[in-house]
Amino acid sequence: MKLLIFTLMAALTCYGQTASTGSASTTGPCSPAVSGNNNQFTINCPGMSKQQGEQLLTIVNKIASDRLDPQLVMRKLNEIGAGVTNIQGELAVKRQQEEEADRIRRTAPVLNPTLIAQARDKVYLCIESKNLIPYKFRYYIVGSTNVVLGGLPIEMQTVYPKPSGQDWTNPLCIPKEIDLDSVREHYLRLRFYYQSLSYEELQLPGHAGKIGARYNIESNGTSFSLKLSEAPNYTDPDL
């Protein structure tokens, strides 16, 4: 039995090798060729570093010395390659998720709170999120005497808005029982406070604010409506 000698030639300028009479020549990323001199087997791998060549030589010698089935080795290598590809894909997805989470943390919520009268004794606060950024809010509704008629004046409520039509949280509508007939001077004021979920941590500009608006109460004898009489602003002295 003749001993096969494996030689790796790295960083060559051509893909194939031509030997003397009785030798074979092939081309490819790694090209094997068998010469007639002592059955010498040469593998040409253009562009491969010395370290990579030594690692490949170790693998080839291991297969030869342990008499491993080359086909079985290739199947296992394919399985490992598929596993590595899956891991790389999972890492890429995780990286994208982390980048999106960081973008959300650094984006200020854009909100449009509105009062709507549904009946003589029921008013809705509807909060529309313009950019679907999670937020916290509290609010209260007062009459002309500044008496609180409804709202959440102390605790903040957290909302994770989704696109309109997919979830009840955009717009988020909260009913409040307010007898509009009993409101003196026939107007309501909304005082609305909000902040992003990352505001306390990052303290970024625009991530917390307040909105004030005034609504006139109108009635046609059978129904009530609220008409915005002052544009929402951030300078209401009562906020």
pLDDT tens digits for the chain (239 residues)? 333 444 444 333 333 333 344 444 444 467 766 665 666 667 777 777 888 878 878 888 888 888 888 888 888 888 888 888 999 999 999 999 999 999 999 999 999 999 999 888 899 999 999 999 999 999 999 988 888 888 877 789 999 998 876 666 788 999 999 988 888 888 999 999 999 999 999 999 999 999 989 999 998 867 788 888 876 665 555 54
State the alpha helices, DSSP H only, in the chain.
Answer: 50-65, 70-105, 199-202
Tell me, yes or no, whether 44 lies in a domain. Answer: yes
Residue 239, in any domain of the structure: no
Please tell me whether residues 86 and 142 are part of one structural domain: no
pLDDT, residue 13, reads: 33
- Tell which phi-psi region holds residue 39, choosing left (phi > 0), alpha (psi between -120 and 50) or beta: left
Cα angle at 136 between 131 and 138, to 5 degrees? Answer: 120
Q: What is the reported pTM? A: 0.64
Residue 8 is inside which H or E element, if any? strand 6-10
User: For residue 104, what are the contacts with CB-CB under 8 A and spacing of at least 6?
Assistant: 133, 134
pLDDT value for 238: 55
Q: Looking at the domain assignment, is residue 171 inside a domain? A: yes
Give pLDDT, residue 69: 85
Q: How far is it, in rounded angstroms, from Cα 190 to Cα 150?
A: 10
Domain presence at residue 238: no
Contacts of 39 (CB under 8 A, 6+ apart): 2, 4, 5
DSSP state of 35: -
Both 17 and 99 in a single domain? yes
Q: CB of 226 within 8 A of CB of 189?
A: no
Q: Are residues 129 and 94 in the same domain?
A: no
Structural domain boundaries, residue 56:
6-103
Name the domain boundary from 83, 103, 123. 103
Beta-sheet pairing, 6-10 with 41-45: parallel
- Distance spanning both ends of the chain, measured CA to CA: 96
